[in-house]
């Protein structure tokens, strides 16, 4: 029987540093993704402020964690700016307060952190076992994270990236073509935004049908192959050709990240925030259209859109699960959002509908 580790009375700051060092090592060997490491880093920075960096970690109790969770929930979320904040609850300083999903993620980070702390002998037992407060489970996503309807998705692909005009500059045209390509990949195939921004030019390999295979590096460094139709690969090729032309003309800077599949106007690889900014700009353009666009959207909403539209059109859930990179089909089910009229169409196409119609006609004839 292995003896428990000797208790080390280290501070919150020291424990976090050691935990994040291990996390970064797990990223290198493919056990964790860069995104997971980023989330742990962000959440534990907030925890250090709320708990006190010089506090001895073993002195943190379940009641302390409850207090930290309560205070964390009231911190404005700098990623979610809200307009027209007058008399609105859940808003502070022009920013929305932490959403239930964000609080849940913070709670999950603390659970993982204290689980490691208990194994390493930084605490006698995890205070998470003695907490009373847990974020409520919220199965309703914010509107901007839900799937677009078919009409909204079509409008995004047609008008979202903008339309070139006589005064459009070379760099503006570069952004338009790039954004249309990125939006199309996300709506058609449902990759994670991090998978798009980390893609390299060499990941797209053309095939004999005019399409291509995109090798995606997903969570946990697990690869999957996504087939691109000829029209979808045509957008990728168009962007790559334009990019090479602009570099040759000196309009687009070279040498930033030549391997990156998608770059900024400065030639650097785009990041997740850049995709969100492009999507925000697309939503503003769509809201200005006569038919309007009365919602926001996040990159995650485009992933939901791909899953929802594919399954609404009869795709096998196992195929959709494979495209999304889910190991468990149950995970895919959480990505399905009800589309307007979907239930009505399902009832209208019920396999027994014809039988009911025949019986009704027989009754009327009698």
Per residue in 59-113, pLDDT (tens digit) is: 999 999 999 999 998 888 766 554 444 434 454 555 567 878 788 889 999 999 9
pLDDT band at 144 (very low <50, low <70, confident <90, very high): low
CA nearest to 45, candidates 134, 106, 87, 118: 106
Q: Which residues contact 307 (CB under 8 A, 6 or more apart)?
A: 147, 190, 320, 324, 332, 335, 336
Q: State the catalytic residue, choosing from 107, 145, 243, 300.
A: 300
Q: State the catalytic residue, choosing from 180, 243, 303, 304.
A: 303
Q: State the catalytic residue, choosing from 192, 243, 269, 304.
A: 192
Query: How many whole angstroms separate alpha carbon 330 and alpha carbon 308?
Result: 14
CA nearest to 32, candidates 220, 166, 200: 220
Determine if residue 265 is left, alpha or beta; phi over 0 gives left, psi from -120 to 50 gives alpha, anything else beta: alpha
Handedness of CA 21, 23, 29, 35 (dihedral sign): negative
Q: What is the pLDDT of residues 261-317, one digit of tens each?
A: 999 988 899 999 999 999 999 999 998 887 767 778 889 889 988 888 888 787 888
Residue 254: the pLDDT is: 76
Query: How many whole angstroms separate alpha carbon 232 and alpha carbon 211?
Result: 7
Active site residue 304: no
Q: State the catalytic residue, choosing from 219, 253, 285, 295.
A: 219
pLDDT band at 326 (very low <50, low <70, confident <90, very high): confident
Query: How many whole angstroms separate alpha carbon 335 and alpha carbon 151?
Result: 19
The answer to whether 185 touches 196, Cβ cutoff 8 Å, is yes
- Residue 217 pairs in a beta bridge with 223
Active site residue 326: yes
Q: State the catalytic residue, choosing from 72, 233, 239, 335.
A: 335
The residue that leads in pLDDT, 335 or 101, is: 101
- Residue 76 pairs in a beta bridge with 97
The answer to whether 272 touches 194, Cβ cutoff 8 Å, is yes
pTM of the entire structure?
0.68
Best mean pLDDT range from 16-25, 126-135, 283-292, 314-323: 16-25
Sheet containing 91-92: give its strands across.
Answer: 76-81, 95-97, 91-92
Q: What is the pLDDT of residues 187-239, one digit of tens each?
A: 999 999 999 999 999 999 999 988 999 999 887 778 899 999 999 999 999 99
Kind and range of the H or E element at 281? helix 272-287
Query: How many whole angstroms separate alpha carbon 163 and alpha carbon 271?
Result: 23
The answer to whether 37 touches 54, Cβ cutoff 8 Å, is no
Active site residue 335: yes
3-state secondary structure of 218: coil
The answer to whether 13 touches 47, Cβ cutoff 8 Å, is no
Active site residue 300: yes
- Tell how strand 95-97 and strand 212-217 pair up: unpaired
First to last CA, the chain: 82
Active site residue 192: yes
């Amino acid at each position: 029987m292995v003896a428990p580790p000797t208790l080390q009375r280290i501070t919150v700051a020291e424990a976090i540093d050691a935990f994040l060092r291990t996390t970064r090592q797990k990223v290198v060997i493919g056990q964790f993704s860069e995104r997971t490491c980023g989330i742990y880093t962000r959440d534990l920075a907030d925890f250090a402020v709320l708990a006190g960096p010089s506090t001895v970690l073993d002195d943190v109790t379940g009641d302390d964690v409850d207090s930290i969770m309560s205070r964390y929930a009231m911190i404005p979320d700098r990623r979610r700016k809200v307009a027209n904040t007058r008399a609105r609850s859940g808003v502070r300083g022009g920013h929305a307060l932490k959403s239930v999903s964000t609080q849940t993620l913070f709670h999950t980070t603390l659970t993982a952190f204290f689980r490691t702390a208990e194994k390493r002998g930084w605490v006698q037992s995890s205070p998470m076992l003695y907490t009373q407060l847990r974020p409520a489970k919220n199965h309703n996503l914010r509107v901007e994270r839900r799937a677009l309807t078919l009409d909204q998705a079509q409008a995004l692909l047609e008008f979202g990236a903008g339309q070139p005009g006589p005064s459009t500059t070379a760099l503006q045209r570069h952004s338009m073509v790039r954004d249309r390509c990125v939006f199309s990949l996300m709506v058609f195939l449902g990759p994670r935004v991090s998978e798009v921004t980390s893609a390299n030019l060499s990941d797209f390999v053309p095939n004999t049908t005019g399409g291509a295979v995109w090798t995606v590096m997903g969570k946990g460094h697990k690869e999957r192959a996504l087939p691109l139709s000829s029209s979808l690969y045509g957008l990728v090729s168009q962007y790559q050709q334009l990019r090479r032309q602009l570099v040759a003309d000196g309009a687009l800077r070279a040498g930033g990240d030549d391997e990156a599949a998608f770059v900024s106007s400065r030639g650097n690889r785009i990041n997740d925030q850049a995709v969100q900014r492009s999507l925000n700009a697309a939503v503003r353009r769509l809201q200005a259209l006569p038919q309007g666009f009365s919602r926001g959207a996040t990159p995650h909403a485009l992933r939901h859109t791909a899953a929802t539209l594919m399954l609404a059109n009869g795709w096998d859930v196992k195929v959709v699960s494979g495209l999304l990179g889910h190991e468990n089909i149950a995970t895919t089910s959480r990505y399905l959002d009800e589309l307007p009229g979907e239930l009505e169409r399902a009832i209208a196409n019920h396999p027994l509908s014809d039988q009911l119609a025949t019986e009704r006609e027989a009754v009327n004839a009698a």
